[in-house]
């Protein structure tokens, strides 16, 4: 399965925050949206990502205050991205090796969506279910003529 198929199923909503917003504002936004990360976009360009892990490691465990710390101070600046044509296996490898849970999706230079580890796992499960159902149907003799 390709990334474009995942986005077709889940949608291509992009939730973002500016780097000059407070971490508190960003965490509140994530909570309201029930998501685990926000893309950091400045002047229409992806400049970073803010995740729950960033908040834990760079605010809470450092004794910083979320209402006085800006997103730009703690965001992850090295963002790994995939394209619409990338296969789910590529996404799984990147996420596993880099230990990340969110991948922005690019179409050329345009940001067109974000996929999460949950989206990737769901696509793998859906594919396996389809294959199992097809095999069961074949074994039962219910195949197209």
Q: Which domain holds residue 13?
A: 3-139
Q: In what order do the strands lie in the sheet with 110-116?
A: 82-83, 102-107, 110-116
Residue 67 belongs to a domain with what CATH number? 3.10.580.10
pLDDT in tens, 12-61: 999 999 999 999 999 999 999 999 999 999 998 999 999 999 999 999 99
Confidence at 143, pLDDT banded by 50, 70, 90: low
Query: Which pLDDT belongs to residue 139?
Result: 79
The pLDDT, as a whole number, for residue 124 is 82
DSSP strands (E only) in 43-118: 45-51, 82-83, 102-107, 110-116
CA–CA separation, 95 and 65 (whole Å): 29
- CA 115/CA 105 separation, integer angstroms: 7
Domain count, the chain: 1
Which tokens belong to 140?
């039962």
Give CA–CA dist 9/35, Å, rounded.
17
The mean per-residue pLDDT over the stretch 121-134 comes to: 80
């Amino acid at each position: 399965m390709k990334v474009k198929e995942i986005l077709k199923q889940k949608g291509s909503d992009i939730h973002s925050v500016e780097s000059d917003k407070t971490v508190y504002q960003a965490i509140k936004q994530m909570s309201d949206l029930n998501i685990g990360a926000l893309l950091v976009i400045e002047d229409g360009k992806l400049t970073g990502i803010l995740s729950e892990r960033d908040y834990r490691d760079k605010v809470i465990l450092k004794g910083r205050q979320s209402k006085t710390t800006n997103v730009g101070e703690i965001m992850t600046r090295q963002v790994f991205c995939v394209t619409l044509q990338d296969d789910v296996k590529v996404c799984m490898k990147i996420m596993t090796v880099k230990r990340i849970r969110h991948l922005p999706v690019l179409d050329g230079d345009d940001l067109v969506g974000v996929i999460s580890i949950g989206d990737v796992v769901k696509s793998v499960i859906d594919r396996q279910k389809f294959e199992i159902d097809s095999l069961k149907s074949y074994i039962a003799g219910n195949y197209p003529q």
